[in-house]
Amino acid sequence: MDQEKLREGVLCQLNVGKWTANKRLPKNHLDESVQEITRAVYDLVDDRTLLREIHSIQRSAKHFLWLNSLKVPIDNVFWIPRDKIIAVDEKFTELQRECRKRALKLKRSLKKLKSDFKKKYPDLYDEKFYPDPSTIESRFYFRWRFFDLILPDKKSGLLSPKAYKREQKKFQGMVKEMESMAVNLIGNQLMERIEKLAKQCDGGTINAGTVNSVENFIAKWDDLWKEHVDQKQMQTVIGQLRRQMKKTSADTLKDNETVREALGKRLNKMMGKIENIPDFKLKRKMDV
């Protein structure tokens, strides 16, 4: 990805807050023999249904962002291509609304949750461990922002020539690192899927779900990554994989040993090519 392509999208930062509703278990509730080596926690509410719902909404938001973006080397920041911005914004608005509804419901239920817990676990109950009802909604904040990351105009004079040159070098390094992160993310996802399918081809036990996962990966490449990842070897391998998958299906692989064996050999070769991509780092040793 070059600097011009970076400007074909925006950066997005998503921040969500939560109340874990747990505390460390006092040592006097632990057996003396394990007190020094045990760090146990206990829940502050017996019924965690609403908390689980809120956390599930927040996880959904993070997952949706992950599906429609590329990670950049800045904490909790992602790059979103232009054609995904509206979808992300609308999805976040919907999830934020749902999160607020659950937080409000939790606020209204807090008094009863505390009362129920106190009756059931009087030795563990302590009022000071609970947030004030008037502030509990703010614990579950759901915020996002879109922004650009660009260098100041060289002609503006905001930076000295020396500082501008230094920041330009940093910016170029960030773009290069972003490309490397994308290649590693895509490469490892691809390796995981085709290794699994290659093993099934070798063993003659084809699973339709595995075939679908490879096809879904190719679809995601076409939809999100293809126009923004410049690594030629990665593009070549995925092009070869696309052609191979178009020629077959899960049923064909199950019924035709010749086709199955041929695909297995090609997949193993593709894995070797991916491993040889410059700067690619395999997260784990492949069992090929």
Number of Cβ within a 10 Å radius of residue 26: 13
pLDDT of residue 280: 86
Beta strands in the chain (DSSP E): 9-16, 22-24, 41-43, 70-71, 77-81, 142-147
pLDDT of residue 4: 65
Q: Dihedral angle at the C-alpha atoms of 267, 268, 273, 276, nearest 10 degrees? A: 140
pLDDT in tens, the chain (288 residues): 556 666 788 999 999 999 999 998 887 776 776 667 777 889 999 999 999 999 999 999 999 999 999 888 778 889 999 899 999 999 999 999 999 999 999 999 999 999 999 999 999 999 999 999 899 999 999 999 998 877 677 777 778 888 888 888 888 887 788 888 888 889 999 999 999 999 999 999 999 999 999 999 999 999 888 887 878 889 999 999 999 999 899 999 999 999 999 999 999 999 999 999 887 888 755 443
Bridge partners for 147 per DSSP: 11
Which residue carries 């999805």 as its tokens? 91
- 3-state secondary structure at position 159: coil
Distance set, CA 234 to CA 155, 188, 245, 246 (Å): 38, 11, 16, 18
Domain ranges of the chain: 3-147, 159-275
Three-point CA angle 73, 74, 78, nearest 5°? 85
* Contacts made by residues 173-178, CB under 8 angstroms, sequence distance 24+: 174/72, 174/73, 174/74, 174/149, 175/1, 175/2, 175/3, 175/6, 177/73, 178/1, 178/6, 178/70, 178/71, 178/72, 178/73, 178/79
Print burial letters for 161-193: b (CB count within 10 Å at least 16), e (below 16). Answer: eeebeeeeeeeeebbeebbbebbbbbbbebbeb
